[in-house]
Amino acid sequence: MGREDLTSISPKRRSAEALPTANTNTSNSEGCTLFDMSRGCRIKKTFSTLLTFTILCGSITILVLRGTIGIGNPSFTHSYSLGPKISNWDAERKNWLDENPEFPNHMNGKARALLVTGSPPGPCDTQIGDHYLLKFIKNKIDYCRIHGIDIVYNMALLDEELSGYWAKLPLIRRLMLSHPEVEWIWWMDSDALFTDMMFEIPLPKYDKYNLVLHGFPDLFNQKSWIALNTGSFLLRNCQWSLHLLDVWAAMGPKGAIRDWAGKVLTANLKGRPAFEADDQSALIYLLSSEKDEWMDKVYLENSYYLHGYWAALVNRYERIMEKYHPGLGDERWPFVTHFVGCKPCGSYADYAVEKCLRSMERAFNFADNQVLKFYGFEHRGLSSRSIKRIRNETTTPLEFVDQFDVKRSVLGRSGGSKSPP
């Protein structure tokens, strides 16, 4: 404080206070000094100050941008390489099938499907996670035994870059190329349960399509991030699918690419929270950005629950059992109950843990009842692990086999063991 003689200000301090540009010289080319307060000089000074600010802030912006998103953004016109490019898979596959009639792509009158699921190679964060993974795979074993579908349970991370939910992409590609006899790869999350043991996917409905997911066209048009669900979907074994996988994988590689892709997805999809890129959002983004290229072969199915959001279903099971019967697959008797957000293998759920666990137990028992019924048993209640007899043993068990066997009614419907087309 106190009076300061401007002449006594040290040169260092003067330059620190003054702006770090050429205009802070005590004189400039147009003759305005720092101390000139005439209108013209004031305007010039203001202009030069503004110019300085602009340059300063512009450099800061560029520096900040460089720091956040890195040099050279990954472009979505390039795809991540899941393997060497294959361009004639349809022809190669057809040749193979012709040469190997003992491995046909149609069995029992329907296209051969392979159910693919899996979980990480190490134990879950808590014991209860592994226990439910075990129950859920038992559930899938039951459904697939009844419907004559093979299962691949994967516990290996094939590509360290494509970890987490992305791990399914290299796995699916690998299985397609190794098993030309498989017509459809059916990916199913480890947290999804079959709750309609009798429902058979109407595969012939998708003869003209290559990708079937549960979803809604109107939500898709709005680019909602939950417009479709990649927790349970069918992908045909063909060239189109290989190409889709390659392009889809572009947002997957972990680290900078996945993080940056996550921001793009959050910015472009409706309702998406901020987190790294996931396969579901990436697929929605990809399909909606390149509709013409892909959508004629994509079927958004909502006439039955190829994926059914659990929270809307689990409290209705008792009413469902009272009013309806298995085989419907839709809101009357949901085909699949999918526990999105419960994440039992992790440490934290998106919902209350107690609600998740109780609901998973109920859904499991609801499905298990449909299997046990054939053997004359059912659970004492949907929350109970114990079972009770609902049909006495007899000396002529085969009459019940004829009446109740789910498998026979399913396989019989699709034509039994007719010779492959």
Partner 1 sequence: MLERFMGARRVRQIQRAIRHSTVTFLCLFLTVVVLRGTIGAGKFGTPEQDLNEIRDHLYSRGRRVEPHRVLEEAQPDSEADQSNNYATFDISKILVDDEPEEKPDPNKPYSLGPKISDWDQQRAEWLKNNPDFPNFIRPNKPRVLLVTGSSPKPCENPVGDHYLLKSIKNKIDYCRLHGIEIFYNMALLDAEMAGFWAKLPLIRKLLLSHPEIEFLWWMDSDAMFTDMAFEVPWERYKDHNFVMHGWNEMVYDDKNWIGLNTGSFLLRNCQWSLDILDVWAPMGPKGKIRDEAGKILTRELKDRPVFEADDQSAMVYLLATQRDKWGEKVYLESAYYLHGYWGILVDRYEEMIENYHPGLGDHRWPLVTHFVGCKPCGKFGDYPVERCLRQMDRAFNFGDNQILQIYGFTHKSLASKRVKRVRNETSNPLEVKDELGLLHPAFKAVKVSTASST
**Within 156-195, which residues bind partner 1 (CB under 8 A)?**
156-158, 174-175, 177-181
Single residue of 24, 74, 92, 295 touching partner 1 by CB under 8 A: 92
Query: What amino acid occupies position 371?
Result: V
Calculate Rg over the CA atoms of the chain: 31
Tokens at 4, concatenated: 């300061």
User: Nearest approach, Cβ of 43 to partner 1 (angstroms)?
Assistant: 15
Single residue of 51, 55, 60, 390 touching partner 1 by CB under 8 A: 60
Q: Is 411 in the site for partner 1 (CB under 8 A)?
A: yes
Contact indicator for 196, 333 with CB cutoff of 8 Å: yes
CA distance 401 to 341: 39
Helix (H) / strand (E) containing 231: strand 228-236
Which residues, 346 to 385, sit near partner 1 by CB under 8 A?
Answer: 346-355, 357-358, 361, 368, 372, 374-377, 380-381, 383-385
CB nearer to partner 1: give 165 or 376.
376
Query: What amino acid occupies position 58?
Result: G
Which residues, 115 to 134, sit near partner 1 by CB under 8 A?
Answer: 119, 121-131, 133-134
CA atoms within 13 A on the CB side of 318: 6
CB nearer to partner 1: give 4 or 292.
4
Which residues, 309 to 338, sit near partner 1 by CB under 8 A?
Answer: 309, 311-312, 315
User: Nearest approach, Cβ of 167 to partner 1 (angstroms)?
Assistant: 12
Tokens at 79, concatenated: 């795809």
Tokens at 100, concatenated: 């190997």
CB nearer to partner 1: give 292 or 322.
322
CA distance 342 to 353: 7
User: Nearest approach, Cβ of 395 to partner 1 (angstroms)?
Assistant: 5
**Residue 316: count of CB within 10 angstroms of its CB:** 14
CB nearer to partner 1: give 127 or 292.
127
3-state secondary structure of 396: coil
**Residue 180: count of CB within 10 angstroms of its CB:** 18
Single residue of 71, 208, 292, 398 touching partner 1 by CB under 8 A: 398
CB nearer to partner 1: give 27 or 384.
384
User: Nearest approach, Cβ of 371 to partner 1 (angstroms)?
Assistant: 9
User: Nearest approach, Cβ of 295 to partner 1 (angstroms)?
Assistant: 19
Query: What amino acid occupies position 323?
Result: K
Single residue of 19, 43, 256, 390 touching partner 1 by CB under 8 A: 19
Tokens at 90, concatenated: 């349809």
User: What are the two backbone dihedrals, phi and then psi, of residue 210, each rounded to the nearest 5 degrees?
Assistant: -120, -15
**Residue 358: count of CB within 10 angstroms of its CB:** 14
Which residues, 254 to 273, sit near partner 1 by CB under 8 A?
Answer: 263, 266-268, 270
Q: Tokens 């110019």 identify what position?
A: 51
- List residues bridging with 300 in a β-sheet: 213
3-state secondary structure of 335: coil
Single residue of 78, 96, 296, 325 touching partner 1 by CB under 8 A: 96
Single residue of 24, 41, 74, 103 touching partner 1 by CB under 8 A: 103
Total site size for partner 1, rule CB under 8 A: 122
Question: What residues have CB less than 8 Å from 175, skipping those under 6 apart?
Answer: 114, 116, 152, 182, 185
CB nearer to partner 1: give 248 or 292.
248
User: Nearest approach, Cβ of 327 to partner 1 (angstroms)?
Assistant: 20
Report how far Cα 344 is from the mean position of its chain's Cα atoms. Answer: 17
CB nearer to partner 1: give 38 or 178.
178
Which residues, 137 to 156, sit near partner 1 by CB under 8 A?
Answer: 137-138, 141-142, 145, 150-153, 155-156
Which residues, 203 to 242, sit near partner 1 by CB under 8 A?
Answer: 216, 219, 226
CA distances from 153 to 106, 165, 397 (A): 22, 15, 34
Angle at 193 between CA 310 and CA 110, to 5 degrees: 125
CB nearer to partner 1: give 324 or 400.
400
CB nearer to partner 1: give 30 or 350.
350
CB nearer to partner 1: give 251 or 382.
382
